[in-house]
Every structure is written in structure tokens, then in C-alpha cells.
Amino acid sequence: MDLRKLQRVIIDALEDVKAQDIRVYDTTKLSELFDRVVIATGSSNRQTRSLAMSVKEEVNAKGGEVIAIEGLETGEWVLVDCGDIVVHILQPMLRSYYQLEGMWGAKPVRVKLAGTKGLAKASKSEDDE
């Protein structure tokens, strides 16, 4: 699946279950293992699990592949590996403590979220142009 299409599917799946503070980062220059990191917040164990399952179901439904999901047991920090994109879904205290944005956040990708007008395709990163 095309990277931007996969990114849009993941963001839509997170928004469907009301994920908070969704951020997307371009990691092509930081890691050869994946091209994007998506970080989102869930307010409870139940919501983080639901967010992860929503991502899994939507990616699979659109023809993508979810390689692995880690952290469903506790639901405090759930990682969904979608190959080119890794999704971190954390509860607020863990997100604040680990500050993943500091590790992966050097190059944010602008995306349109449901809260903005004209929800359509994810925006291009500077490298995509």
C-alpha cells in the first residue's frame, strides 16, 4: 500500500475511536526500518486497545498488513507495526514521561485531521514533493 494512503487509513482509524493529539513524523532519515511514526493518546486502557484494534482492522480492510501489535495486555502503551509506519498509542502519563516526540519528532508531517475543514488526503512531507 502507498505510504500516504496507509498514513491516511491509520489517521482515520485513530480519529474514528477519538484518539487525542495525533502526531505524524517522517523518520526516513532516522531509521531504515520504517518511514513514519504516528503517536496518539488514548484516555484509558480500554481506549488504547480499541484504537489499536481499529488501526488493525482498517489497515487490513484496505489491503494493508499489520505485522505485529504489542502491549494489548496492559493497554498503557500499545504499538502497532504496519511495516512502513509504526503507531504508538499511549495513555497521557506515559506519553508525557517518555516524550517520544523528542526521539522521532525532528520532522513532523502535516496532516489534515477531522477537526480541520476539508478532510481529505494527508499532506505531503517536504521529501515527497
Residue 117 lies in a domain: no
> What CATH number is attached to the domain comprising 31?
3.30.460.10
Cell numbers at 118, concatenated: 476539508
Asked whether residue 110 is domain-assigned, the answer is no
What amino acid occupies position 42? Answer: G
Whether pLDDT at 28 is above 50: yes
Is residue 97, in this structure, part of any structural domain at all? yes
**Contact 82/59 with Cβ under 8 angstroms?**
yes
104-126 residue pLDDT tens = 877 788 787 776 544 443 434 44
DSSP state at residue 8: H
**Strand-pair category, 20-26 with 68-70:** unpaired
First-last CA distance in the chain: 19
pLDDT at 104: 83
Q: Region 28-36: what's the mean pLDDT? A: 91
- According to the model, what pLDDT value does residue 61 have? 96
Q: What gap in Å lies between CA 78 and CA 28, rounded to an integer? A: 22
How many structural domains compose the chain? 1
- 118 assigned to some structural domain: no
